[in-house]
């Protein structure tokens, strides 16, 4: 089960990937989610472990894995 920060990030990333380039910086995610950078990094790691996203940390590229909505229910 995802916590609030993880769910919020997943929704932000899903909407962003649908409309814009997938490159997003941690400070920008922190601003959009209203969380600290450390919380964002931890949540991204958890989302990657659970296979909701693919994250290339060195390139700041996050890709939402198709079908995550079915997995989350």
Rounded to two decimals, what is the model's pTM?
Answer: 0.81
Structure tokens at 21: 């380039």
Segment 29-60, tens digit of pLDDT: 999 999 999 999 999 999 999 999 888 877 77
Domain span holding position 56: 4-72
Segment 9-26, tens digit of pLDDT: 999 988 887 665 557 888
Q: Phi and psi for 28 in degrees, rounded to 5?
A: -70, -40
Dihedral Cα 56, 39, 31, 28, nearest 10 deg: -10
Counting the structural domains of the chain, the total is: 1
Distance of alpha carbon 68 from alpha carbon 73, whole angstroms: 9
The distance of Cα 50 from the centroid of its chain, to the nearest Å, equals: 11
Read off the CATH number of the domain in which 50 is found: 1.10.10.10
């Amino acid at each position: 089960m995802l916590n609030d920060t993880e769910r919020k990030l997943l929704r932000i990333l899903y909407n962003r990937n649908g409309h814009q380039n997938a490159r997003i910086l941690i400070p920008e995610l922190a601003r959009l989610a209203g969380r600290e950078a450390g919380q964002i990094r931890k949540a991204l790691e958890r989302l990657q472990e659970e296979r909701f996203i693919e994250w290339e940390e060195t390139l700041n590229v996050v890709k939402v894995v198709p079908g995550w909505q079915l997995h989350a229910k």
